[in-house]
Structure 1
C-alpha cells in the first residue's frame, strides 16, 4: 500500500473516523500498546462497524518511516454505495435487475475476479459484509481490471439482513451451494429481479442465509474434483443467468 492509502497516528485516525467520507476499511492497533488513547479509536470504530485488529509490533515495521504510534488505518480506494439506493435505482431501470452477494469471500484476488465478471454481466451491485470479507485494496483493484470503479459495491453489517431487504423489495434470492438438490441447468428462473449469493469454497454460505433463500442451486461436477474456485463458479452461473436473459 502507498502512503495515500493509510492514515497513521492516534490523532490522525481519530480525526479521520469523525469524517464520514474517510472510507476507513480497517484499523491495526498494537496488542502490546496499552495507551489510553486507543480507547477513543476503538469506540469511534465500533460506532461505524469498522474492524479493529490487535496485531504484534512486527506488523508495523514496513511503516517504520511513518510516525504511526503503532496504529494504522487502511483506507478503501472506493466509496461504498448505499444498499437501499442501489436497489431502488436498479429496479427502476430494469425488471430483470441482478444483484450479487458474497458470503465469506476473503481472498482479494477472488473478490477482484468476481467483481470483474459481475460488471461484465450487468450486475446492479455487489454486496459484501463488513466482517468476513476481503478488503477493497490495490490488489482487488488490479485483479478486477478497474471494474471496482464501474460497479457499485455495498457493505452491510449483516448479509442476512441484506437478503431480507432484497426479498422485501420483491427480489428472489438464489444461493449457490454444493448441497443443493438441483443444478442451475435444471432450475427454472422466473422473470424478474434476482439476487445470487456465492460463498467461499471452504466454509460456503452460512446456514441462516441458505435457509432464508428462495432457491438453492449448484453446478454439475463430473470429475473427481469436489468444488470449483468461487470466482470460476460465480462466472459460470452469472453467464448462464445472462444467457437466459438474452434469450427472453
Structure 2
C-alpha cells in the first residue's frame, strides 16, 4: 500500500489547515518571509509546536508548482492520538497494556517496519517525539504494510514527559541499550510495560536511560556489535509476547 504525501501551499491554506486540526508533518517556510499574514501563521506554528524548515524559495518552487506564497506544508496521512487519551483507553483493556516509545528514531523505513511488527504483537500504542522523529510519509506507510492506519500513534513534546506520565499509571519502562548487563529475558514483561527504543547511531538518550525503570539488552554472539533498530525492537516485542502467552 502506498500513499502520496498530501501537500498544501499558501499561507492562508496552511492557517486554515491548522485551525481545522489537521496533523501537519512538516512546514517549509521561505527564508526572510514577512508581512501581517505571515505573522499570523507564525503565531499558529509556534503555538502548535510544528516541525519547521526554513528554506530558499527554490526549494519551495520544487515542492509546489502553484503560488505557494512562501509556505508549503505536508499533511500526515493519519490522525494522532493524545497521550492522555491513549493511556485512558489502555486502562479499559483486559490485558496488560504494552507501549512502545521511540526516542530519536529518524529513518522512515525503520519506523514503518517497527509499526508493522508492533501491530502484529498487539502493542497498545506508539509514542514519538514531536520534533526530530521520522515523519509518517509514503515510505512509512508502504513499509508498515498499512499497519500505520491500525496502530494508535501519539506525539509528545518530549519523550521524558511520556516516561513520567506512564510511570504515574504504574507502567514499567524498559529501555533497550547495550549499556547494561541485564538481558531482556530476565525482566518480567507480563505487567503493564513500555519498551523504549533509540535511534541507530546514539541509541536511547542518557536522560531517558536514567529515568527508565530497567535497562535491558539482547545477546550478541557475532562480530557485529549491534542490530538494526527495527530488528532489535521486534526481538523485544516478541519476548514480551512469549512471556504473556
Q: Please give the TM-score of this superposition, normalised by the length of structure 2.
A: 0.94
Contact in 2 for aligned 1:91/1:193 (Cα 8 Å): no
Matches within 5 A, 1:14-163: 14-20=15-21, 22-35=22-35, 37-163=37-163
Report the counterpart of residue 230 of structure 1 in structure 2: 229
Worse overlay, 86-95 or 218-227: 86-95
Q: Which runs of 4+ in 1 moved over 6 A?
A: none
Q: Distance in 1 between matches of 2:44 and 2:187?
A: 47
Q: Match for residue 214 of structure 1?
A: 213
Q: Once structures 1 and 2 are overlaid, which stretch shifts more, 190-199 or 35-44?
A: 35-44
Give the match for residue 175 of structure 1.
Answer: 175
Q: Aligned equivalents of 1:25 and 1:63: distance in 2?
A: 14
- Cα offset for 1:191? 3.4
Question: What residue in structure 2 maps to residue 189 of structure 1?
Answer: 188
Distance 2:165 2:220 in 1: 32
Tell me, in whole angstroms, the C-alpha distance in 2 between the residues paired with 1:237 and 1:70.
44
Secondary structure (helix, strand or coil) at the match of 2:116 reads helix
Aligned-pair CA distance for 1:188? 2.5
CA contact (8 A) 2:109 2:143 kept: yes
Aligned positions, number: 243
Match of 2:7 in 1: 6
- CA 1:36–1:54 in 2, change beyond 3 Å: closer, same or farther? farther
Following superposition, the deviation at residue 132 of structure 1 comes to 1.3
Measure the CA separation in 2 of the matches of 1:237 and 1:190: 10
Extract unaligned runs of 5+ from structure 1: none
Q: Cα deviation per residue 1:14-66 (whole Å; 9 max; x = unaligned)?
A: 2222222x111220011254455333222211101111110122322333422
> Structure 1's 220 and 64: CA in aligned 2 closer, same or farther, altered over 3 A?
same
**1:188-209 Cα shifts (integer Å, max 9, x gaps):** 3153110000001202112111
8 Å CA contact 2:10–2:68 kept in 1: the answer is: yes
Cα pair 1:174 1:217 within 8 Å, conserved: yes
Q: Distance in 2 between matches of 1:31 and 1:220?
A: 48
